[in-house]
Each structure stands twice: as C-alpha cells, then as structure tokens.
A and B are shown apart, each in its own frame.
Chain A
Amino acid sequence: MSTLEIKNLYASVETKEGRKQILRGVNLTVNSGEIHAIMGPNGSGKSTLAYTLAGHPKYEVDSGQALLDGEDLLLMTPDERAKAGLFLAMQYPVEVPGVSMTNFLRTAVTEVSGEAPAIRTWTKELTAAMKQLKMDPKFATRSVNEGFSGGEKKRAEVLQLEMLKPKFAVLDETDSGLDVDALRIVSEGVNRAKAANDFGVLMVTHYTRILKYIKPDIVHVFADGHFVKTGGPELADELEERGYDEYLPEGSDSESALA
C-alpha cells in the first residue's frame, strides 16, 4: 500500500513574456489501487501538474511537496522519481532515433528494478504484453516512437507502464488522438497493468469517453492551477453535460494559456 500526497504545490514556467505561475496550490492524496480522473478546461494546468510531478526541466517548483510514501519526489531527478515508482504516460511521447524499443525498455527495466531481467522471461513477458496491445512484433526492433502513429505511440506508453510496474501512474491525455478500437485496447492495457500491480492512477483527460473503459473512483475538476471540485464518477457525467464554463474565472484567458 503506497500513498502519493501532493501538498500545496506551486509551479511556474518560463515564457517569452516572463515567468508564469501555472500551478497554484495543488492538494491531492492518491492511494494504491485508486483511480483519480483529473478533468478541466484547456490551459488549466493539468498537463503542467503531470510534467511537474515527473520532473520536466521546463517547469520550476516554487513551493510545495509531492510525497511518495513520505519521500519528496520534487527533490529527486526524473530518473530517481521513476525508480521511486512514478510513471508518466505522455500525451506526446518523444521519438529517440537510433535507440531500439527493446534496448530502451530493457535499460529502463534494469534501472527501475535494480537488476537486469533474465533474458528468457524478459523476452516472453515483452512478447506477451505486445501481443495483448496488438502491437506488431517489429516495433520491438524499431527506434523508440520513431515513425509510430499517434495510436502506436500511446500503445507503446502503455507497454512501458506494464513493463515498468510503477506505484503510481500519471496518464496525460492518453485518450487523445485514439480511435474507438485503439481507445479500448489502450484502456484494457491500463486496466491489465493495474490489476497486476495495483498502482494508483492519475488520469488527466478532457473527455469522459475514456472513463467508460477506465472507471474512476474519484473525479476532480482542475481549473486555474488547482483542484476546484471533487466528487464521484457522477461528476464526470455532469461535466460532460454542462462543460467547464462555471469553473472558469471571470474574464479568464486560460483558453490561450500555456501548459
């Protein structure tokens, strides 16, 4: 049983117009096995929250903590956060030319687990996971994300989630750009990984459609850099119907904001 506790988190990003604070007092507690959906309008800072937790160099923490079982992730380098048990499935996975998926995954698993996995069981596990995600075996020999379609990149993210077995998974708009079939396959992958490892999930999304496949326990509305409302799954339906307008501050420019 693990706990991720985000306490009073403030974070900024450097822009052409100067420093801009995006996260303004984020508080959240997630336990192993829980699925939290984080919904909110464009530019509210949802993705910034995801990247700040993972340690992207673009975002600077002003104050606050993100405690994973008491250890502050925000004081760690990105790789240390991954080793501590955090995984971020990115909205736009990065292409790494010349590095094969197999080599990359094996290196990552070696680092996260602290030892190189035995070749035979490793190959078996990888092949099985790829098959369940309906990924062509040739992806294993291709460069990381290079030339992958949007859907293939998302499957590759879920493949990593399954192989790396984190304590907490942040899924940043994993549903964006997926057709119905791909959405189902990706969602099943997340559910399978969660069933196997019972991690906590922070699922950042605009839309409720992924929530049909990955059932949230708790739904949060994120606006203007912090959580403004928390409820059960019924809150998602309410948002679907009424939109985010009521959560936007008067004269808000958040539509055009960064993040």
Chain B
Amino acid sequence: MAERREINIPVADPNDPYAVPAAMPSSADTNPRSFDVSDFARPTRKQEDFRFTPVERIEEFLDVFTPSNATTVSVSMIDGAPLEPDMVTLREVPVGQEPTGTVGKPTDRVEAVEWASATRAFVVELKDSPAQPVLVKVHGAGTDLDALHLVVTAADRVHGDVVIEHDGTARLAEGVEITTGTDAHLSVTSIQEWSADSKHVGGHRIHVGAESSVRHAVITLGGTVVRLRMDQDFGGEHGDINMLGIYFVDPGEHIEHRTMVVHNHPDCKSRVVYKGALDGKGAHSTWVGNALIEPTAPGTDSYELNRNLVLTPGAIADSEPNLEIENGNIIGAGHASSVGRFDDEELFYLQSRGIPEAQARKLVVRGFFAELVEEIGIDAIAGHLMEAIDRRLARGEDAATQTVLEEK
C-alpha cells in the first residue's frame, strides 16, 4: 500500500511555518494551528499536551463563552507617567482586527477558545524607544469568566521594555501576541500575582524579527490554576530569544508553563530558563520545554533548563524537556532539568549564624530566584520582580525580617 515518494525538505514560510507538512513529521509538535475551536479535540489527560493538567479544573475554558469584560487594563510608563504618543501608543481593537491574530495561531483548544470568546484586544505599540519600561496593569475584578487579548509590537530598531502585571481575582483566558520588526530589542515581563482563588489560562505567541532579540519573562506567584503556553518562532537570521520563568506554588495549586521554541531560521539563539519553588502538600508545577530545530535552521544555538526546589514534602514538580533536532549543522542544543529539595548544608550554615530555619529557607529561595532575576539585566525590571518575589516571601513575616528583606 505504502507509496514510495521522494523526500523533499520543505522550505518553511516564516509567517506560517506549519503550512508545509514537514517531511519528517515532528513528534514534539504535532498540534494543529488554528483559530477554529472545532479543530481541537476536547482536552483529556490522555493527550500529550494535557497529560499533567488537571483538565477538570479548567473545564470552563474549554468551550466558547461570553466574557464578563470586567477585567480592567491600564497602561502607563512604569513610574506612572502617561504614555508619550510618539513613542508608545495604546489602542483597543476588536479581536480579529489586525494586528491581532498576526503572530501565529492558537496551538491548543484553550487558546482557540480564548480567541473565539474575547471581544476586547489591547494593542501596545512601541514606535520608538521609550526611556523607561511600559507598564500594563491587568486587574481582575472577580471570578466571572473573562477573556482578554493583548498585543505588544516593537517597530524596527526599537529598544523597549514592557511589564504586564496581573493582580486581583480572576478567571481569565488571556492571549498575548508579541512581535518585533527587524533589529529590535524588546523585553516583555508578565507577572501573575493573582489571589489564591484565581484561574488564568492562555498563552503567549512570540515572533522574533530578523536580527532582533526578545527577552520574555513569566513570573507566576499566585492562582489556584495557572496554565500558560509560550510559542515562539523567528522571522529571520540572527534572532535571539531568551525566555525566563519563575513560579512559586502553594498547597493545592497547579502552575503550568509550557514553552515551545521553534528554530526556523539560520543562526538564531534561544535560551529557556525556568525555576520554581513548591511549598506544601498538593502543590503541583509543570514545566514542559519543547525545542524544535527545523531543517531550515543551521547554526542554531539552543539551551533549555528547568530547576525545581521542593520546600516541603508532598509537592509534585513535573519537568520535561523535549528536543527535536532536524538539522545536524548546529552550534548546540542542550537541556537540563532537576527537582531537588533544600540543601541541608546551606540551611545549617545560615542557621549557625543565628538565622532561624524558616527565614533561612526564605533566604535560600530568594537567592534561588535572584540568580535568575539578575540575568534579566534591566535594573528597573529586576527591581520590580524582586519586589514581587519579596512580597510573596514576606507573607506572614515579622516586621524586623521584612525590614531586612526590603533593604536587601
């Protein structure tokens, strides 16, 4: 029956890398890409992409719904100053109108449902390099189901930083599209500091223009279920994507991050580093890091790493790096993954200097994350992140310790 056919290595269209079926079908990435919810089967834990997900806890996000539109979005410079319109603009457009839907397509049912449900999209355009980071505040107004779409674009040669802050209480499906022109340098930092009863699902779709670099950071510090996927590709040679992630999981919470790096152009570089701390019974984290190096991407330099620190017994960290390399002519494709508990020697050392165990643990956790935050390299953002982490660690802390933590 099987017909013999010549194998042609397909040349991928950078705007739609999955238009041509790969001659060697990718095993890491077999998902459809579609705006149509019906193209995706209803998730079950038998599906690879939902293997670690408590699907029953995100059931409300699996069918198209009417959004409450109660979630508020406000945009300013990070110091609170208004946007300077010749550099940064904010527009609200209907979902479906450009530039929404231009950065890839939904890659799972949750993202397709978000797309079909959301009626509001906020577009932040960096036309020129702002002097300080842009702050997008997304505030959840309650547990009524809501859907929201954000687009961040950076024009050619623009250098800029965007921080997206989520707080309040929400049940939110959110789609974020991030795209740059040529020779642009953009950082996008998304902080999830939700209340303990919040749910947040969705994804970030990232397109790195030729000769451009994107630093993408995801910091998830609260929410009963947070499930985000990050899908990325390149628009030309010499692109550079740096994905950082930090998560802190409390008892009973499920925090899931899935990264998908696609090397579809020559000489691009990717780094994915996610670190998480898990505290208590039933705390569950999932990190799945996929990297796909396509035949069209010689000279690829790729590395992904995930580290989990289990603070107390009873927590579960799933950590799974997947690499698929379809081009042998590359600089590197590495991965590392670990789940570990506290280092007793570190704790003893701190304790032997008078620091009580609980506080010693906090210092170690803070240090575990600080290493990563330092890598962001942008003081305004790093400071902002450490503040969020310190807020998280300082919960239930006595006043004297808080002072020390704040003064650093």
Contacts and interface: CB of A to CB of B under 8 A. Distances in A.
Interface of A: 54-57, 77-79, 81-83, 87-88, 90, 93-100, 102-104, 106-108, 110-112, 115-116, 119, 143-144, 160, 164
B90 interface: no
B404 A94 contact: no
18 contacts: A55-B351, A56-B348, A77-B351, A78-B352, A79-B356, A82-B351, A88-B352, A93-B349, A94-B346, A96-B364, A98-B370, A102-B408, A107-B355, A107-B359, A108-B355, A111-B359, A115-B400, A164-B353
Contacts of B352: 54-56, 78-79, 81-82, 87-88, 90
Contacts of B408: 100, 102-103
B363 interface: yes
A144 B364 CA distance: 11
Given A103-B404, A119-B407, A82 B363 contact: no
B394 to A, nearest CB: 13
A119 B406 CA distance: 13
A57 B366 contact: no
A99 B349 contact: no
Contacts of B400: 110, 115-116
A83 B363 contact: no
Interface of B: 344-346, 348-357, 359-360, 363-364, 366-371, 400-401, 403-404, 407-408
| The 5 residue pairs across chains A and B that have the minimum distance between CB atoms | A98-B367, A82-B354, A78-B351, A94-B349, A112-B354
A119 B408 CA distance: 11
B346 A96 contact: yes
A170 B190 CA distance: 48
A147 B401 CA distance: 27
Contact of A106 (B346, B359, B364, B407): B407
Contacts of B346: 94-96
Contacts of A103: 363, 404, 408
Given A77-B351, A96-B363, 16 more contacts: A56-B352, A79-B356, A79-B357, A82-B353, A82-B354, A87-B352, A88-B352, A94-B349, A96-B350, A98-B369, A98-B370, A99-B367, A108-B350, A108-B354, A110-B404, A111-B359
Contacts of B368: 97-98
B353 A97 contact: no
Contacts of A90: 349, 352
Contact of B353 (A77, A95, A143, A160): A160
Most buried by A among B352, B370, B371: B352
Contacts of B366: 98-99
Contacts of B356: 77, 79, 111
B403 A79 contact: no
Given A97-B368, A104-B350, A116-B400, A77 B357 contact: yes
A46 B353 CA distance: 21
Contacts of A119: 407
A54 B350 CA distance: 12
Given A57-B348, A106-B407, A79 B354 contact: yes
Contacts of B354: 79, 82-83, 108, 111-112, 164
A100 B374 CA distance: 12
A59 B297 CA distance: 55
Most buried by A among B344, B354, B371: B354
Contact of B363 (A54, A99, A115): A99
B281 to A, nearest CB: 23
Nearest to A92: B345
Contacts of A98: 366-371
A104 B370 CA distance: 14
A56 B345 CA distance: 9
A54 to B, nearest CB: 5
Most buried by A among B344, B349, B408: B349
B367 A107 contact: no
B32 to A, nearest CB: 41
B126 to A, nearest CB: 31
Given A77-B351, A79-B355, A94-B349, A116 B404 contact: yes
Contacts of A54: 348, 352
A94 B353 CA distance: 12
B395 to A, nearest CB: 17
A141 B407 CA distance: 13
A169 B346 CA distance: 20
A81 B352 CA distance: 7
Contact of B344 (A57, A82, A87, A97): A57
Nearest to A163: B353
Contacts of A106: 404, 407
